[in-house]
């Protein structure tokens, strides 16, 4: 049996095609789409630029599927290699409340709770952080997402055990579709 070229129940990043958008997703609808751009990261390996692709899609149910892939860039914009990657789900809870579940291959799993600050911005704080023994030391985190002048901008601050929150990643992404 050969693999299908298209899934029988596809995800979509477009409100004009695919399954209907459930009313529960209206507060997250501005995120729907594919985004691409650049950002800045800080970590144990030092500060660096990165390129990023991000996708928010739905399959007709009351959540957005989320995927983000990034790659390291040199100061002059040359691709060095893969960087951070994560995937998860945005889940609306009522008119303004939202949950975000995120898993990364470095052994970190985070559950965030938060709310819409405006119709195009969301602030979330970690409720649960779980990590494998080799994962980065993350005890809590805060994420802020917003659409400003048509661009998706975000900032992630993280804190290690007994450490204050510090900027970890931020980016400006333009809508691809």
Mean of pLDDT values over 3-29: 81
Task: Give the predicted TM-score (pTM) of the model.
Answer: 0.92
Q: What percentage of the chain exceeds 90 in pLDDT?
A: 84
pLDDT in tens, 122-141: 999 999 999 999 999 999 99
Q: Are strands 64-73 and 48-57 parallel, antiparallel or unpaired?
A: antiparallel
Cα–Cα distances (Å) from 20 to 6, 23, 88, 134, in that order, read: 19, 9, 21, 42
Residue 152, domain extent: 23-175
Residue 12 included in any domain: no
With contact defined as beta carbons under 8 Å apart, do 25 and 156 qualify?
A: no
Residue 2 included in any domain: no
With contact defined as beta carbons under 8 Å apart, do 24 and 62 qualify?
A: yes
Residue 102 included in any domain: yes
Residue 170 included in any domain: yes
pLDDT band at 2 (very low <50, low <70, confident <90, very high): low
Residue 158 included in any domain: yes
Distance CA 92, CA 19 (A): 18
pLDDT band at 20 (very low <50, low <70, confident <90, very high): confident
CATH code, domain with 81: 2.40.128.20
Distance CA 98, CA 140 (A): 17
pLDDT band at 4 (very low <50, low <70, confident <90, very high): low
Residue 55 included in any domain: yes
Residue 152 included in any domain: yes
Number of domains in the chain: 1
Q: Which residues contact 38 (CB under 8 A, 6 or more apart)?
A: 49, 50, 51, 52, 73, 171, 172
Residue 8 included in any domain: no
SS3 of 38-97: the string is EEEECCCCCCEEEEEEEEEEECCCCCEEEEEEEEEECCCCCEEEEEEEEEEEEEEECCCE
């Amino acid at each position: 049996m050969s693999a299908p070229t298209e899934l029988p129940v596809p995800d979509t990043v477009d409100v004009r095609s695919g399954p209907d958008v459930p009313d529960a997703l209206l507060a997250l609808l501005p995120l729907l789409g594919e985004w691409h751009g650049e950002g800045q990261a800080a970590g144990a390996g030092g500060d660096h630029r990165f390129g990023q692709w991000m996708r928010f899609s739905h399959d007709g149910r009351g959540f957005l599927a989320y995927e983000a892939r990034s790659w390291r860039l040199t100061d002059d914009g040359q691709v060095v290699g893969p960087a951070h990657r994560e995937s998860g789900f945005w889940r609306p809870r009522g008119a303004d409340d939202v949950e975000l579940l995120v898993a990364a291959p470095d052994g970190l799993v985070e559950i965030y709770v938060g709310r819409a600050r405006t119709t195009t911005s969301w602030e979330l704080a970690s409720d649960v952080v779980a990590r494998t023994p080799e994962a980065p030391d993350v005890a809590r985190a805060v994420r802020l997402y917003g659409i400003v002048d048509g661009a998706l901008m975000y900032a992630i601050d993280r804190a290690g055990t007994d450490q204050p929150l510090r900027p970890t990643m931020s980016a400006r992404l333009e809508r691809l579709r």
